[in-house]
């Protein structure tokens, strides 16, 4: 990867020391080094999650964070050779430690990217524009979870630490890494709203996007959800559900320790059945990832479709903290409405049964919107080192923002869900 070797050498000797009292959320430039101070912290870039202790990293993760930001998930991505230098995802995670105690105060998952695939925040046009202007766009830095378009904290901080100072400190370090290593940009994808606001204050550009999420309005059974759908959609969903029985297809769900180890190779084959079917499909994940995923069973929930005793389709889902995340789908046989039942209705039914508040089935939209998934904002933040390119992208993002907000408003106004009855509306 161009630039990776030099970046690695520079990062290994990073060891910048700063006075934490000097870190201001309103600063416009990277922090200035300062030696000495009882409150000094050390920023470092670490080549791989395996070089950071599991318990140490996870001490920054809260009960409300998704499993994707935990050490185990990131380790599975890297150890399986799914996210490595060879695949264009060279891991260079950023850590911030208190000195002299070496206590980990903050961290974020960072990758040196040689392309823009597998990110789900699409900047290919930016790369083309940069190339046309003679500006080198790759390599670039990306803060996020490989191949995983979910919103969550991207800057992890220790309990009790001054998060309002640490988040901009980490972001400023990303900008400095770009400037010191001749990198075009740093991108923080699917971050939280408060993180995006903190980064905008120090000069990052905010980009809006949207996904479609399903919300559990206190439903007690699947019919409660059906009754909230508008008539035309309710009839369609009932018809699609009935099609399974007509075709002799049954659906089963297994979760947690109930998942047999023998099922993971089948989930990998199902994953391949989808990515190999399409011209734009990419085998981002290796078979080894699905082997390592066995250590994540506590967060996993598989939907399985059978015709007779034969497994014909399934989804690989992740759940934690009242959220179900749909990740990978595949099928060995094509059947009418199989995709909708396995990917959407089974997940909704599981959320209702388990009291899960939100279902995020991933990227894409129209099919979800027709089934009661409403648009939800997503955010990313971008540091662009070249001033001219930054201005051009800022102008583009302003126009795009207006279009995104208009689309979300229209999507909500045309929701396939009826307004809740007055008794369901909370009052102060």
Element (H, E) at 107: strand 104-108
Q: How open is the CA angle 117-4-10, to the nearest 5 degrees?
A: 135
Instruction: State the pTM of this model.
Output: 0.90
3-state secondary structure of 355: coil
Domain 4-210+377-411: assigned CATH number = 3.40.630.30
Of 77, 73, 112, 76, nearest to 94 by C-alpha is 112
Strands (E), 110-269: 110-113, 140-143, 156-157, 185-189, 205-215, 249-255
User: 3-state secondary structure string, 31-73?
Assistant: CCCCCCCCCEEEEEEECCHHHCCHHHHHCCCCCCCCHHHCHHH
Buried b (16+ CB within 10 A) or exposed e, 87-126: bbbbbbbbbbbbeeeeebbbbbbbbbbbbbbbbbbebeeb
What CATH superfamily is the domain 217-356? Gcn5-related N-acetyltransferase (GNAT) (3.40.630.30)
Per-residue model confidence as pLDDT tens digits over 27-60: 323 333 344 344 689 999 999 999 999 999 999 9
Determine whether 390 is exposed, middle or buried from the number of CB atoms within 10 Å of its CB (0-12, 13-18, 19+): middle
Per-residue model confidence as pLDDT tens digits over 295-319: 999 999 999 999 999 999 999 999 9
Of 39, 51, 25, nearest to 105 by C-alpha is 39
Q: In sequence order, which residues have a C-beta less than 8 Å from that of residue 280 and are 6 or more positions away?
A: none
Rounded CA-CA distance 46/58 in Å is 16
Q: In sequence order, which residues have a C-beta less than 8 Å from that of residue 396 and are 6 or more positions away?
A: none
3-state secondary structure of 20: helix
Polymer length of the chain: 428
Per-residue pLDDT of the chain (428 residues; tens, 9 = 90+): 344 445 554 444 444 444 444 332 323 233 333 443 446 899 999 999 999 999 999 999 999 999 999 999 999 999 999 999 999 999 999 999 999 999 999 999 999 999 999 999 999 999 999 999 999 999 999 999 999 999 999 999 999 999 999 999 999 999 999 999 999 999 999 999 999 999 999 999 999 999 999 999 999 999 999 999 999 999 999 999 999 999 999 999 999 999 999 999 999 999 999 988 765 658 899 999 999 999 999 999 999 999 999 999 999 999 999 999 999 999 999 999 999 999 999 999 999 999 999 999 988 778 899 999 999 999 999 999 999 999 999 999 999 999 999 999 999 999 999 988 776 544 43
- Establish whether domains 4-210+377-411 and 217-356 are of one fold: yes
Sketch the domain layout of the chain as residue ranges.
Answer: 4-210+377-411, 217-356
């Amino acid at each position: 990867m161009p630039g990776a070797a030099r970046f690695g050498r520079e990062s290994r000797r990073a060891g910048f020391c700063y006075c934490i009292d000097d870190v201001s959320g309103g600063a416009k430039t990277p922090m200035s080094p300062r030696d000495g101070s009882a409150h000094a912290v050390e920023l470092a870039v670490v080549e791989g999650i395996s070089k950071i202790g599991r318990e140490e990293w996870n001490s920054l993760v809260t009960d409300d964070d998704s499993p994707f930001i935990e050490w185990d998930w990131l380790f599975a991505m890297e150890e399986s050779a799914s996210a490595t230098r060879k695949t264009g995802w060279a891991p260079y995670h950023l850590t911030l430690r208190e000195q002299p105690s070496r206590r980990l105060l903050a961290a974020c998952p960072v990758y040196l990217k040689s392309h823009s695939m597998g990110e789900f925040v699409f900047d290919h046009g930016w790369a083309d524009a940069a190339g046309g202007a003679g500006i080198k766009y790759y390599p670039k830095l990306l803060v996020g979870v490989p191949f995983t378009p979910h919103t969550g904290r991207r800057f992890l901080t220790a309990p009790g630490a001054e998060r309002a100072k640490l988040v901009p400190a980490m972001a400023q370090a990303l900008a400095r890494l770009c400037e010191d290593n001749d990198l075009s940009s740093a991108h923080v994808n699917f971050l939280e709203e408060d993180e995006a606001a903190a980064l905008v204050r120090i000069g990052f550009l905010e980009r809006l996007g949207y996904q479609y999420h399903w919300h559990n309005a206190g439903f007690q059974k699947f019919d409660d959800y059906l009754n909230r759908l508008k008539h035309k959609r309710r009839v369609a969903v009932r018809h699609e559900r009935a099609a399974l029985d007509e075709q002799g297809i049954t659906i089963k769900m297994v979760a947690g320790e109930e998942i047999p180890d023998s099922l993971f190779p089948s989930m990998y084959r199902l994953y391949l059945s989808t990515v190999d079917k399409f011209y734009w499909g990419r085998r981002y994940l290796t078979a080894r990832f699905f082997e390592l995923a066995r250590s994540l069973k506590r967060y996993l929930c598989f939907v399985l479709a059978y015709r007779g005793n034969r497994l014909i389709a399934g989804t690989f889902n992740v759940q934690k903290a009242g959220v179900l995340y749909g990740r990978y789908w595949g099928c060995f046989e094509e059947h009418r409405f199989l995709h909708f039942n396995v990917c959407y209705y089974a997940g909704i039914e599981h959320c209702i049964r388990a009291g899960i508040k939100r279902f995020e089935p991933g990227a894409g939209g129209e099919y979800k919107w027709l089934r009661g998934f409403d648009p939800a904002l997503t955010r990313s933040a971008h540091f662009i080192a070249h001033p001219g390119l930054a201005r051009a992208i800022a102008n583009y993002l302003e126009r795009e923002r207006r279009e995104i907000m208009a689309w979300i408003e229209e999507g909500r106004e045309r929701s396939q869900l009826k307004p809740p009855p007055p008794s369901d509306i909370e009052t102060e």
